Structure 1
């Protein structure tokens, strides 16, 4: 856990590096095909025929050797290091960690040695990786892979004499048709001086050296770790090969079994999920169509609302223009009613005054000093008369007249009477005498 401190695992990529017995090698001598998928199918069929092993196409790959022959590489069974990566993901509360590919230790190491060293075309080079419990022998001819030896079950923990290595090397040279060794490159757990001297003694014509990592920036690690980079030759070689593949400068062996691909999918589908995909598509299309139709209807309704709103504003403007005219019309009607009422009233007043004036003109001893209305149809007159009989005569002249008051008040040494008479206007109240 401490070695992963500070790493953002969700942004990391994990590349498992596998070797025997998880990975198997098979020489393919059958027909070739430029279509890679068809070629892998031919190789898988050949493996089934020769070894009786059924291989999925995503678990097999091929590479070309120096003599143009074809070496097939395939995975059989579960991959322990993939299981380890999944356990790490579970420990960190994640469903999976990104695995872009799976590399093979032997081929990645052979690629890095070929890339970092220049050999003559006729040179035979042995790459020997010594682990704690096993060792690997890889042979190059020139810059190309020639032969991969069987895994040796000897390492630093169970090695008693280097002679065991030499006998195994000679056996693999015979199996691979390798007449001599020109270069021997050591990496792994044992790169001691004793080992180098032993190889010099057995293969005096060979150039024996430790695998170098000269093009790496080692400024962030200790000097001791920098000297021991050959311990990590296989993971470093696999990383170099992977990055060169990303840069399109190399095409190597890559595996990614289908179960790993499915496990890393954001959405995982079974057969029943694929069965309902057409229904999901149809439902999506239907709801999308409905939404678009509703959107179009809403747009039409918005347009209609805008039209009606504009019309309403126009109507309100017309109402605002009509209101003053309506008020003027109402005022005119009221004025006309007042004028009509006044005209009718003036006729009655005119008739009444004419008749009273006519009575006064004929009698000469009857005067008015004040005329006022008591109500809408009743008038009160005040005045003087030289004779009481004239007052009686006026009352008879106007049959609605009512003498309300009479008092003796001499005027300029003449006998006179002050009076108050009320009479009606709404009807013809006079009688012709």
Structure 2
């Protein structure tokens, strides 16, 4: 029995890992890690990048006299695939640091590989039969043939369903297939593949006491992008369009606030009762900013559930806990798949 879980969030070249274990007394936080891939998984090089790779290899072999367009030998041409190989090798190094035979892995879907549909919950079936019904309904909108494994759903506010469709197989899975032969007996088991938004909303449902009609803005901030999910009570209500600004921008808070105001002015979004913050942000500054912008709302950081203990020294935690919101959500959801709160 696998009583441990590894939440693995991969967003571009940023990788965060949360390792937790379930004992008879509760959940133990074992380890938190941050790593950087040299390139995104599964992203092919552009012609310009391939040319630069080839020229760099040529110059390394023959000196700085090389000119653009000069012929290169086979050794230099082979260098064009080095970046993707390095990304795979980096992921192998990350996974090799864990006992994968004891753990389930939960991983997020890339933002650009998920399509969302808000549908009225008028279906008389559940489980895989409901997935098949949803598949038949949304299949005409997709060029690729769908299977039930590519579809998931969660209950949404006002008797709706949020249907999520994975448009393409995640690059992580392709890379994992390649790496299995290098992992030997330490083979990984994927227990969960989930979207960023639904994974984080599961933490809110499980750990925040929200009233049935309460409107919550769940704000998740990465280095270069942000996402805002709106919940009504414990259920999904709507997603705001992706925001191409994150913690690396000094004005990301103002941009997020303006997007929420636009939804209120143009989209009929009700007043915000609660703001929940997660991701790569300066927590005190973010709480101060959004408390000022939403003076009637409760502003807080996301909660992760109780840990009965940790195997990490506080000084060795590589970043504020809010930075690990996504991998912790994936890990907890993987560890307790039958828990209705997740």
Change (3 A) 1:131 1:8: same
Please say if residues 192 and 330 of structure 2, whose CA atoms lie closer than 8 Å, have aligned partners that are also in contact. no
User: Which of residues 251, 273, 286 in structure 2 aligns to 1:195?
Assistant: 286
Shift of 1:250: 1.7
Count of matched residue pairs: 250
Q: Which residue of 2 aligns with 1:119?
A: 210
Change (3 A) 1:92 1:29: same
Please say if residues 218 and 230 of structure 2, whose CA atoms lie closer than 8 Å, have aligned partners that are also in contact. yes
Q: Which residue of 2 aligns with 1:250?
A: 340
Q: Which residue of 1 aligns with 2:272?
A: 181
Q: Which residue of 2 aligns with 1:170?
A: 261
Please say if residues 304 and 329 of structure 2, whose CA atoms lie closer than 8 Å, have aligned partners that are also in contact. no
Q: Distance in 2 between matches of 1:142 and 1:55?
A: 32
Q: Which residue of 1 aligns with 2:322?
A: 230
For 1:7-406, what aligned pairs fall within 5 Å after superposition? 7-29=98-120, 31-50=122-141, 54-93=145-184, 97-173=188-264, 177-213=268-304, 215-224=306-315, 225=317, 228-245=320-337, 248-250=338-340
Please say if residues 16 and 82 of structure 1, whose CA atoms lie closer than 8 Å, have aligned partners that are also in contact. no
Change (3 A) 1:169 1:135: same
Please say if residues 104 and 335 of structure 2, whose CA atoms lie closer than 8 Å, have aligned partners that are also in contact. no
Q: Distance in 2 between matches of 1:226 and 1:173?
A: 37
Q: Distance in 2 between matches of 1:226 and 1:114?
A: 27
Change (3 A) 1:30 1:120: closer
Unaligned segments of structure 2, at least 5 residues? 1-91
Shift of 1:3: 5.4
TM-score by length of 1: 0.52
Please say if residues 162 and 236 of structure 2, whose CA atoms lie closer than 8 Å, have aligned partners that are also in contact. no
Larger radius of gyration: 1
Unaligned segments of structure 1, at least 5 residues? 253-433
Change (3 A) 1:174 1:83: farther
Q: Which has the higher helix share?
A: 1
Change (3 A) 1:31 1:137: same
Change (3 A) 1:179 1:134: same
Please say if residues 44 and 54 of structure 1, whose CA atoms lie closer than 8 Å, have aligned partners that are also in contact. no
Change (3 A) 1:84 1:174: farther
Q: Which residue of 2 aligns with 1:401?
A: none
Q: Distance in 1 between matches of 2:142 and 2:95?
A: 41
Change (3 A) 1:161 1:118: closer
Please say if residues 191 and 334 of structure 2, whose CA atoms lie closer than 8 Å, have aligned partners that are also in contact. no
